[in-house]
Structure 1
Amino acid sequence: MPKERLSVVVTRRLPEAVETRLSELFDVRLREDDTQMTRLELIDALKDADVLVSTLTDKIDAALLAGAGERLKLIANYGAGVDHIDVESARRRGVLVSSTPGVVTDDTADMTMAMIIGAARRIPEGLRTISKGEWVGWAPNAMLGRRLSGCRLGILGMGRIGQAVAQRARAFGMQVHYHNRRRVRPEVEEKLDATYWENLDQMVARMDVLTIHCPHTPNTFHLMNARRLKLLKPDAYVVNTSRGEVVDENALVRMLKAGDIAGAALDVYENGTEINPDLPRLENVVMLPHMSSATVEGRLEMGEKVIINIKTFADGHRPPDLVVPAML
């Protein structure tokens, strides 16, 4: 007698190739439109699913998990970050959580460099000048930005993405500095020609560009708070492609408006789509809609990891990308 297929609920529209493969392997309930599930829809999904394929737009907290059905055994997250999932509560209920680490490393690092260049060379300002018909021609002192070669780049979080950014920054002639929970191996430091700072405050105060690549956890919430942001040099730039909650957005806006720092480049925001209304009005800010990992190749690879995690679980083995509370 053939083995009963797992019941899998997918909370968002995924690339067609990924949805097709999921449908071939499992008993899948797909999303009809590309909107996030409401809380009521999530509650309903958790009642009779064996596996939930979630995304970062799904807040899966302890209360939601408390109402999950007995069948739920795996949350296969489509994405590397799992700060939207109460992993500890899931573990206590016997629900495994997997993610898709590594696949967006190069994409995010590429976009980080694009944002560093965009902020330092004032590309958005130049685009607006052209689009508004305000450009009157070349001038010696017009639209002066910063040369990247020789600039000190401070990397907050030296994981996969931080290291990939360091590699790219070295190619631009930037000096690489970093702060991390744990110092990376000597051979990694040597390869990246990276200087480690144990004291974050001391590093922040000396950098020309600070780029953030750490996850959102209780320990990193507002890690870049008002006090620490004020340590930045007046000609420094802040770049964030990780999680918006790491930066005190209101404090950052106040400093940008006052000219206390040169500029910022943001792909993520503290309150999701509820962005501080002053941010879009500022000339010295590059703003993107959380698109650092948005490549066709990356999204397909994320889907492949989700499928491998579910298939491995279905075969009675530990998902290769299992998340445990100790990792967070």
Structure 2
Amino acid sequence: MAKVLCVLYPDPVTGYPPKYARDDVPKIEAYPNGQTVPSPQSPLGFKPGEMVGCVSGELGLRPYLEQHGHELVVTSDKDGADSMFDRHLVDADVVISQPFWPAYLTAERIARAKKLKLALTAGIGSDHVDLKAAAEHGITVAEETYSNSISVAEHVVMMVLSLVRNYLPAHQYAVNGGWNIADCVSRSYDLEGMHFGTIAAGRIGIAVLRRLKPFDVKLHYHNRHRLAPEVEAELGLTYHDSPQSMVKVCDVVNLQTPLYPATQGMIDEKMLSQFKRGAYLINTARGALCDRDAIVRALQSGQLAGYAGDVWAPQPAPVDHPWRTMPRQGMTPHMSGSSLSAQARYAAGTLEILECFFEGRPIRPEYLIVDGGNLAGTGAKSYGLS
């Protein structure tokens, strides 16, 4: 019998289950690159469209795990030495966490987790795991690659338009009973004709570029590996060999790069000084890619015309985090990849990975981040250990 420790965000404040706005979600068979959606052999412990990403939802895992004699512990209490997470970590075989409510598996915590064999991210992004320590301790790290990539890409498009068209302040005028058209349009522009660039053009970055092409924007990108010539031609992309080259010409900059030591704090005072004055910055990748206070100062000075993101450092963000109150921002809690549609996919993927793990079958390479003491699969393409 294995002990599975699952850390999920708290239930809705109005209670669980919520009253759903729709009766179902569209069924997706494959992702844009042809990769099939998760395909566990066991029945799902939920109906797609139900909220399974919170504590009471349990990712729908309890029926499968209990049927096979495993113990499931689910909690949202993850911070501090006396948290439920820390108390149960010492004898857990599997830890499941989400990027939206990450249980930080630091090197110190990994050293105390003597039985831990699998660290599983329900979603995409395993930077809350110390990957170097996981590799050194022989722990497999896996995630459901592509499960919520399009969910995040859609969120990016929403944020771009919200900032450029000044939607959020204008909406607030309407809510407050006003009709302040001049105030609303004093910071409103057309996206058409602007230069949009993404730092990293992986699964999410390329999906954003494809969705923005119909807006008749000029598209730019920087990526560790240059895209195929036919993709550049199809989308009319301009490639830049450095982020610095790209941000100098872009009106809107999108961050999609993974977080690891070399990218932490990459958007700092010096980098922001190279942006066009009045540029917009979008970040649905990781909050720690940005220098927190440099972002605030850039908005206050007007170097940035707006900042929107749903990623913070740490997560959840403290009540007094300055990004909550800085001017001209469109922040959300980390929700872009946890739509009810996405939850159905990453919960099914979590079940598929657990089946493979317990039955001794190989985990899909696209799901692997660390395996056999080294970066593997998607992890070898996206992360670094230094």
Query: Normalising to structure 2: TM-score of the pair?
Result: 0.77
- Once the two structures are TM-superposed, the CA of residue 39 in structure 1 deviates from its matched residue by 4.0
Are the equivalent residues in 1 in contact too, given 2:62–2:72 (CA < 8 A)? Answer: no
- Partner deviation per Cα, 1:285-324 (whole Å, 9 max, x = no partner): 1111111112111012111111111111112123221212
Please give the alpha-carbon distance, in whole angstroms, between the structure 2 residues aligned to 1:159 and 1:75: 23
**1:15 aligned residue:** 57
Structure 2 counterpart of 1:305, from 345, 349, 353:
349
**2:89 aligned residue:** 46
- Partner deviation per Cα, 1:114-135 (whole Å, 9 max, x = no partner): 0000000001111221223332
Are the equivalent residues in 1 in contact too, given 2:7–2:97 (CA < 8 A)? Answer: yes
Structure 1 counterpart of 2:309, from 266, 269, 273:
266
Assess, with a 3 A threshold, how the Cα gap between structure 1 residues 46 and 232 changes in structure 2: closer, same or farther: same
- Partner deviation per Cα, 1:153-178 (whole Å, 9 max, x = no partner): 01011100000000011021111100
Please give the alpha-carbon distance, in whole angstroms, between the structure 2 residues aligned to 1:60 and 1:112: 28
Are the equivalent residues in 2 in contact too, given 1:22–1:28 (CA < 8 A)? Answer: no
Assess, with a 3 A threshold, how the Cα gap between structure 1 residues 144 and 17 changes in structure 2: closer, same or farther: closer
- Partner deviation per Cα, 1:104-150 (whole Å, 9 max, x = no partner): 111100010000000000011112212233325x4598444121111
Determine if the alignment matches structure 1 residue 151 to structure 2 residue 191. no
Structure 2 counterpart of 1:190, from 224, 233, 252:
233
Determine if the alignment matches structure 1 residue 171 to structure 2 residue 214. yes
Please give the alpha-carbon distance, in whole angstroms, between the structure 2 residues aligned to 1:105 and 1:26: 33
Determine if the alignment matches structure 1 residue 134 to structure 2 residue 178. yes
Name which of structure 1's ranges 150-159 and 281-290 shifts more when overlaid on structure 2: 281-290
**1:214 aligned residue:** 257
Please give the alpha-carbon distance, in whole angstroms, between the structure 2 residues aligned to 1:210 and 1:148: 13
Q: Which has the higher relative contact order, 1 or 2, with Cα contacts under 8 A spaced 6 or more apart? A: 2
Assess, with a 3 A threshold, how the Cα gap between structure 1 residues 128 and 141 changes in structure 2: closer, same or farther: closer
Which 4+ stretches in 1 moved above 6 angstroms? none
Query: Normalising to structure 1: TM-score of the pair?
Result: 0.90
Are the equivalent residues in 2 in contact too, given 1:8–1:50 (CA < 8 A)? Answer: yes
- Once the two structures are TM-superposed, the CA of residue 181 in structure 1 deviates from its matched residue by 1.4
Q: Any idea what SS the aligned residue of 1:106 has?
A: helix
Assess, with a 3 A threshold, how the Cα gap between structure 1 residues 60 and 279 changes in structure 2: closer, same or farther: closer
Assess, with a 3 A threshold, how the Cα gap between structure 1 residues 9 and 270 changes in structure 2: closer, same or farther: closer
Structure 1 gaps of 5+ residues are: none
Output aligned runs, 1:1-328, within 5 Å. 5-12=1-8, 13=55, 15=57, 18-23=60-65, 24-25=67-68, 27-31=70-74, 34-36=76-78, 38-40=80-82, 41-56=84-99, 57-69=102-114, 71-136=115-180, 138-139=181-182, 142-272=185-315, 273-274=317-318, 277-320=321-364, 321-324=367-370, 325-326=374-375, 327=380, 328=383
Please give the alpha-carbon distance, in whole angstroms, between the structure 1 residues aligned to 2:209 and 2:359: 39
Q: Any idea what SS the aligned residue of 2:141 has?
A: strand
Are the equivalent residues in 1 in contact too, given 2:124–2:144 (CA < 8 A)? Answer: yes
Are the equivalent residues in 2 in contact too, given 1:178–1:196 (CA < 8 A)? Answer: yes
Assess, with a 3 A threshold, how the Cα gap between structure 1 residues 227 and 276 changes in structure 2: closer, same or farther: farther
Assess, with a 3 A threshold, how the Cα gap between structure 1 residues 140 and 86 changes in structure 2: closer, same or farther: closer
Please give the alpha-carbon distance, in whole angstroms, between the structure 2 residues aligned to 1:73 and 1:172: 47
Count of residues in Structure 1 that have an aligned counterpart in Structure 2: 321
Are the equivalent residues in 2 in contact too, given 1:43–1:67 (CA < 8 A)? Answer: no
Are the equivalent residues in 2 in contact too, given 1:246–1:270 (CA < 8 A)? Answer: no
Q: Identity of paired residues, percent?
A: 27
Q: Any idea what SS the aligned residue of 1:287 has?
A: coil
- Partner deviation per Cα, 1:158-213 (whole Å, 9 max, x = no partner): 10000000001102111110011121222222232211100221211110100110
What is the root-mean-square deviation of aligned Cα atoms in Å?
A: 2.2
Are the equivalent residues in 1 in contact too, given 2:5–2:85 (CA < 8 A)? Answer: no
Structure 2 gaps of 5+ residues are: 9-54
